[in-house]
Structures are given as structure tokens and as C-alpha cells.
Copies of this chain bind each other. A is one copy, B any other.
Amino acid sequence: MALDEFDRIATYFAPLSAGHAGAFGLRDDAAVVDVSAGQQLVVTTDALVENVHYLPDDPPLDIACKALRCNLSDLAAMGATPRGFTFAMALSSIRDITENDGRISSFSNGLRRDIEKWDCPLIGGDSVTSPGPEMLSVTAFGELPIGTALRRNGAQPGDRIFVSGSIGDAALGLRLRRDDVGHGLSQQAAAFLIKRFHLPQPRVALGGGLRGVASACLDISDGLLQDLRHICAASGVGANIHMAALPVSAAARSALKDAMMTEIGLLSGGDDYELLFTAPASAVGAVTAAGAAANTKITDIGEITEEPTVQVLDQNHKAVEITSWGYRHA
């Protein structure tokens, strides 16, 4: 059955707002949000376009979640606790109505799971139709104590550089989905890498734990090297990264063996959505504790330098030639 905008909102999206009374069941012109005394709101927005940020045959259950999770990852990078989000969706009229209704149902089911997981209700949105590719845009809201947001500009020479999880998996997953590569990989390894591309794991608990601990923080979306340069530029410093220290998943290691990508490729591939952050040497214990509390692996990968260049060093401490700094969005 073809649903119009009002039916769709009532059927698929209004139930996702149940956790936020101020969403008024998505029936009013806007939602209201209360902010507790001493807290401030954190706001971020990210848009995904079909064929650019995801593929037409990616699992629909994951697509809307990816849009939400990219934004949760930005909140995590600021150290904020998620509070809610708005969801604007342009369905493609290239698909027929039945197919679009099926996709909406999957988007809604995926979002329900993530809303529960992060206690982050839907508070508003818009649903339109486009003659072109599908597009999803999320604006997410978080909360943190006033003045405690993690910024990019606080890295100091001597600070250690840390990264959560593992690096390069999503870029490999995208290659596996797009190109005829990876024939030497086990099915399991390929599935792991593709999942890492489809469904980022925003480090929400870790981000919250890094408030007052990290001197600078961001989430890696353009590739580790590119995003590290953002921290360095904002802080007026440089960095040395030790190639041998990089956290590389077992699946990514087998992809390296299969010559799917170079090690530098792992550092310049986008879509990791891991946290990259710095902390003074005196805070290493607190960093370790934050990682343990969030049940998230953290790896020390290098140090901030006074000299304002970013270098990757091999095991002989020789600078590796960097052929690509990362993905610069056109």
C-alpha cells in the first residue's frame, strides 16, 4: 500500500519518538528540548547520499543507522551524551512505492534498535521525494557539562596520540563492495570488513569518559592522517605516528597480505568513525581507565611534536613516504 507523508510518519516514525515527550508524537511543527542546569547542548549534522556514502544494495536496515551513527560519532568526539536526533529523508522516485515503503520500514526498524542502544529518541524530521538518488540527513543533539566539550585545538608537544578500535577496516570494506578484489580473504574476514563499512560503531561511552582527560579529540571520517592534520593545524603542532603501533584488525592484516591496500592506505581510508585523541603523558592512566570503562580498545600510536609536520615512521624510525593524505570530499 502506498503511504503518503502523514501515514509514513504516524506508522514508522512516531513510535521512535516515544522516549521524548517534547517530540509531541511528531504531530506538531517542532519539538521542544529541555537542557538541565549546568549543561549545554551539542549539535551536529551529517548527510549521506546514495551512491556516494552508501551503495544502492547496502542492507536497508543499516543505512539509516549509518546516518545516525556518523552523527553519534561526532557527539562522542565532543564528549557529549546523546539526547535525540532529527531525521530528514529524501526517498528516490526511481524506486517504486512498494520498494520505498519497504525501505522506510527497514530504516525505522534499524533506527529503533539504535535509539534503544544509545537512549537517543527521534524528535523530528522531514520526508520528501527526490527524482534522484536517496539522501538522508541527521542532526543529533547531545549534552555535556558547560565548558567541557572536547575540542581539536588543545594538543600540546609531548602529548601522546591515541586511537580507539582498529583502523582502515571500513575503507577495505568499501573496496570489497565496489571492486573485484580480496579473493584471498576468508569469507569471515570479508564479512567483518564490509560490516565495518556498513555500520560504524560510534565510541559514545569512550567520548564521555575522555572529558577532562583528552587534550584534543575528533572522530576519524576522512582518514587517520588527514584528521590528525586537522588536530595539528588547530593546535599549531605536529605529530609522529609509529606504523608498527597501529591497531590493525586480523581481517585488515589478511587484506594487506592479499595486496588489497598498502599500510598507508589504511591511514588514509575514510569512514573509520574511531576516536583519535591526544593526552599529556601524565594522563595515560586516565586514558587507560576510560578505555576499560567503555570496554573499548585504545592504542598509543605516537606523539605530538613542536615541529608542525605530520610524519609516519617505520620500525627503523625512518619517515615513510605518504602518497595520499586521505579523502578530501569534493
Contact = CB atoms under 8 A, between A and B. Distances in A.
Interface of A: 4-6, 22, 24, 27-35, 37, 40-49, 51-53, 74-75, 77-78, 80, 86-90, 92-93, 123-133, 135, 137, 139, 141-142, 144, 146, 149, 151-153, 218-219, 230, 234, 328-330
A278 to B, nearest CB: 15
Contacts of A330: 4-5, 93, 129
Given A29-B44, A52-B130, A129-B330, 8 more contacts: A22-B40, A28-B218, A30-B74, A32-B42, A44-B86, A45-B88, A88-B137, A127-B329
Contacts of A78: 28-30, 32
Contacts of A123: 43
Given A31-B44, A78-B30, A149-B32, A49 B137 contact: no
Contact of A42 (B30, B40, B43, B92): B30
Nearest to A75: B30
Given A29-B219, A33-B41, A78-B30, A5 B146 contact: no
Contact of A47 (B27, B40, B90, B141): B90
A267 to B, nearest CB: 18
A263 to B, nearest CB: 25
B29 A77 contact: yes
B47 A41 contact: no
Q: Which of A45, A89, A153 has the most CB of B within 10 A?
A: A45
18 contacts: A4-B330, A6-B328, A28-B218, A29-B152, A30-B42, A31-B42, A31-B44, A34-B41, A43-B123, A43-B139, A45-B124, A49-B90, A52-B131, A88-B88, A130-B132, A131-B133, A132-B132, A137-B137
A16 to B, nearest CB: 14
Nearest to A100: B330
Contact of A131 (B5, B51, B77, B144): B51
Assembly stoichiometry (copies): 2
A215 B89 CA distance: 31
A27 B234 contact: yes
A49 B130 contact: yes
Contacts of A329: 4-5, 127-129
Contacts of A328: 4-6
Given A37-B37, A329-B128, A151 B30 contact: no
Given A74-B30, A152-B28, A43 B141 contact: yes
A262 to B, nearest CB: 23
A151 B40 CA distance: 25
A93 B51 CA distance: 12
Given A5-B329, A129-B330, A135-B90, A31 B43 contact: yes
A52 B22 CA distance: 30
A100 to B, nearest CB: 10
A14 B43 CA distance: 16
Contact of A29 (B4, B34, B86, B218): B218
Nearest to A84: B43
Nearest to A146: B34
